Structure 1
Amino acid sequence: MTTILLLASLTTLGYSLCYLAVCAASPWGRCRHCRGARYHRTTIGTRRDCPRCDGTGIQVRLGRRLIDHIRTEYRDGHR
C-alpha cells in the first residue's frame, strides 16, 4: 500500500515540476474560453471578440501566474 502511495506522490511531483518548467519556458497558452480562435459565438449566432483574452487567442498560463505571485511575495518579504 505504501508503495502505491509513494509512486502516486512521485508521479504527481514529477508532473508538477514538468508543468512549472513548461510555464517558465513558455508562459503563453491558448485561451480556454475561445480555444485560440479569438472569438466566440453568441446565442444569436454572431461572432464577438473573446472577453477573456481580448481577442488575442492567448492567455498567461495559470502556472506562470503562480510563479509570478511567488516571486513577488518573495521580493516583498526580503525588502
Structure 2
Amino acid sequence: MPSANLLARLAALLTFGYAAYYLLKCTVSPFGRCRRCSGTRRTGRKFARPCPRCDGTGLRQRLGRRLIVWARSEYRDGTR
C-alpha cells in the first residue's frame, strides 16, 4: 500500500501540472467562449440582442489571463 507521503507528492505534482497547463493555455489562447451566449453573440430567442456580458463579441477573457495581466501590472508598478 502506498504511503501517505507518496500520495501527497502525487497530488501536489498533479495540481502543479494542471496549474502550469492552465497558465500556458491562458498565455497562448487568452480568450474563451462566453458562457452566457455560448459564443453565439446573442441572448434570448424572441429578441435577439447582443450579449451584455461579452458585448456581442462571443469571447471573454479567461480568469487566468486576468491574473497574469494583474501580476504583470503589479510587478511593473512596483519596480518603477
Shared fold, TM over 0.5: yes
Gapped regions of structure 2 (runs ≥ 5): none
| Alignment correspondent of 2:54 | 53
Q: TM-score, normalised by structure 2?
A: 0.88
The structure number with the bigger radius of gyration is 2
Gapped regions of structure 1 (runs ≥ 5): none
Paired residues in the alignment total 77
The counterpart of 1:4, out of the listed 3, 7, 14, is 7
Alignment of 1:37-52 (within 5 A): 37-41=40-44, 45-52=46-53
The one-letter code sitting in structure 2 at the alignment partner of 1:3 is L
Shift of 1:64: 0.7
| Alignment correspondent of 1:69 | 70
Considering only aligned residues, what root-mean-square deviation do their CA atoms show, in Å? Answer: 1.2
Identical residues among aligned pairs (%): 53
The one-letter code sitting in structure 2 at the alignment partner of 1:46 is F
Shift of 1:59: 1.0
The one-letter code sitting in structure 2 at the alignment partner of 1:77 is G
> What do the CA deviations read for 1:27-70 (whole angstroms, capped 9, x no partner)?
1111111111111116xx43221111011100111111100000
Answer yes or no: is 1:26 the counterpart of 2:4.
no
